[in-house]
Amino acid sequence: MIFDDKRKKLQDELRQSGRLPAGQSLTLKWPVLHVGTVPSFDPKQWDFKVCGLVENPLCFKWHEFQKLPRKRINADFHCVTSWSKFDNEWEGVPFSVIAEKAQPKPEARFVMVLAENNYTTNLPLEDLMASDVIFADRHAPEPLDATHGAPLRLVVPHLYAWKSAKWVRGLNFIAEDEPGYWEQFGYHMYGDPFREQRFQS
């Protein structure tokens, strides 16, 4: 198959250049992976709440969130089930824009990301402040598809993709690390694909 030859050649190049983490293989398609059903979106009902250890708790309506400053990033995406999708053009609101408005208290060192259907995932605040961490509503040139997390998903390129919560609805700033949905089932608390931090040891 010509398609698979092309994929394998690209995969070898990416592995040699150090861009493809160990135990991962390249996909040219975009798999859809999540627990539960795709939630419905009503722009009138939707909100995004920021709570916990912040000076300014926030609640954005959809039309307010859309007015926030935006950026576009190019990033690779590594799922713990072993596929990696390269060169995604994500567009949306940087996490740092939200943090700037919320003003985390000095004790806030971790964040529990809150999504639809009670999906959660935990990250260090410092990681979320990286310049390429965004709340995306576009996978350029297309708007984000509902199956991939529309209206809004988190994108954290440097960690395994389960940290990139789809259908995100809020943030809870906390002092101590706590396991989110998959972390409670034994997935790694941090999840660095380049150190193969798939499961807790």
Ligand X SMILES: Nc1nc2c(c(=O)[nH]1)N[C@H]1C(S)=C(S)[C@@H](COP(=O)(O)O)O[C@H]1N2
**Footprint of Mo ion (CB under 5 A):** 79-80, 161-162
Rounded to whole angstroms, the Cα distance separating 133 from 154 reads: 7
Q: Which is nearer to ligand X, 54 or 165 (CB)?
A: 165
Q: How many residues bind ligand X (CB under 6 A)?
A: 17
- When binding is defined by CB under 6 A, the residue of 35, 47, 55, 74 that contacts ligand X is 35
Q: Which is nearer to ligand X, 110 or 182 (CB)?
A: 182
Beta-ladder partners of 50: 58, 171
Specify the DSSP class assigned to residue 22: T
Q: Contact, 92 vs 70, CB < 8 A?
A: yes
Instruction: From 5-13, 53-61, 159-167, 192-200, give the range in contact with ligand X by CB under 6 A.
Output: 159-167
Beta-ladder partners of 91: 72, 138
Three-state DSSP at 98 gives helix
- For the CB of residue 56, give the shortest distance to ligand X in the complex, in Å: 26
Identity of the amino acid at 104: P
Residues that bind ligand X (CB under 6 A): 30-35, 79, 115, 119, 148-149, 161-162, 164-167
